[in-house]
Amino acid sequence: MDGTGPEHPLSTARSKPTLALDGFLASIEGRAFRIAELALGHREDSLDTVQDAMIGFLAYREWPEDEWQALFFSVLRSRINDRHRRNRVRRRVLAVFGAVPDDGDADPIARLPDPAAGPHEQASRSDAWRALGQALRSLPRRQREAFLLRELEGLPVADAARAMGCSEGSVKTHLFRAVQALRTKLEDWR
């Protein structure tokens, strides 16, 4: 016996946290993508941002599991802000050289309708998603973060406050203002 097989106590101890981390990341990836897509408005940027956040989150794998959700969304928030900055710089550089950035979705498969939904339902859902995304992106950053973490992700106020790095009262204030602004922006859409 060489001490590296599955019966070795160290290999069992290492696999449990790895399995827990894998399970956590698998459970959160869809929600993280939706948040990133609403915040960024671009599928590929959202996928890259979620992947970057998951890689960045690995630094916290030794932290208690009950803190992972708030920590992950803090990392995701940071990566979304980084992507906004990179995109802003990219647009400025391209504008200097007279190039226009491609905001279209180049993936033809992404443009296919959902087979479970009819054309009218698909168009309505797509329009609603686009309107919500535009309205969210027009909010101030902190209001957008509070809305995404509390309403879309369903984090408790305390976890959202930890993820945003602010007080619980601040989260409530930002959320209230975000909801008011979204109601105003989306009332004509209905």
- Quick: pLDDT tens for 85-109: 887 777 776 665 555 544 444 444 4
**Which of the residue ranges 72-81, 100-109, 111-120 would you say has the lowest mean pLDDT?**
100-109
Q: Are residues 21 and 81 in the same domain?
A: yes
pTM of the model: 0.53
Q: Which of 10-14, 31-35, 40-44 has the lowest mean pLDDT?
A: 10-14
28 and 53 together in one domain: yes
Quick one: 152 and 87 in the same domain? Answer: no
Clarify whether residues 14 and 90 are in a common domain.
yes
Looking at the fold, whether 95 and 18 belong to one and the same domain comes out as: yes
Regarding whether 81 and 125 lie in a shared domain, the answer is: no
Q: What digits encode the pLDDT tens for the residues 151-174?
A: 888 888 998 999 899 999 999 999
Domain that holds residue 52: 10-101
Of the chain, the percentage scoring pLDDT greater than 90 comes to 29
What rounded mean pLDDT belongs to the chain? 79
DSSP string over the chain: --S-STTSHHHHHHHHHHHHHHHHHHHHHHHHHHHHHHHH--HHHHHHHHHHHHHHHGGGTTS-GGGHHHHHHHHHHHHHHHHHHHHHHHHHHHHHTT-----S---GGGGSPPTTS-HHHHHHHHHHHHHHHHHHHHS-HHHHHHHIIIIIS---HHHHHHHHTS-HHHHHHHHHHHHHHHHHHHTTT-
> Domains in the chain: how many in total?
2
